[in-house]
Amino acid sequence: MSRRNMAIVAACFGIAYAVSGAIRDQILPAIVTGVLGAVLVYLVLMRVTEHNAAVRRRRERDRA
């Protein structure tokens, strides 16, 4: 998954979370938690991608 795709997924999560909170008349907390959630999603996706790449490199090294 490219960084652009990860950013799009994170932004969609943040927007959806902020909108769902804003519907309940809690606009500022919804925006803050939406932004924090988007950052968290992006960081998790980055870590998973790095881990998968490391596992792939380790497997290729062990085969040789």
Each residue of 4-56: pLDDT tens digit?
A: 999 999 999 999 999 998 898 889 999 999 999 999 999 999 999 999 999 99
Q: Which residues span the domain enclosing 48?
A: 3-63
Q: Is 17:33 a contact under the CB 8 Å cutoff?
A: yes
What is the C-alpha to C-alpha distance for residues 55 and 64, in angstroms, rounded to an integer? 15
Q: What is the pTM assigned to this prediction?
A: 0.84
- Count of domains in the chain? 1
What pLDDT does residue 26 have? 87
| 1: pLDDT strictly greater than 90 | no
What pLDDT does residue 38 have? 97
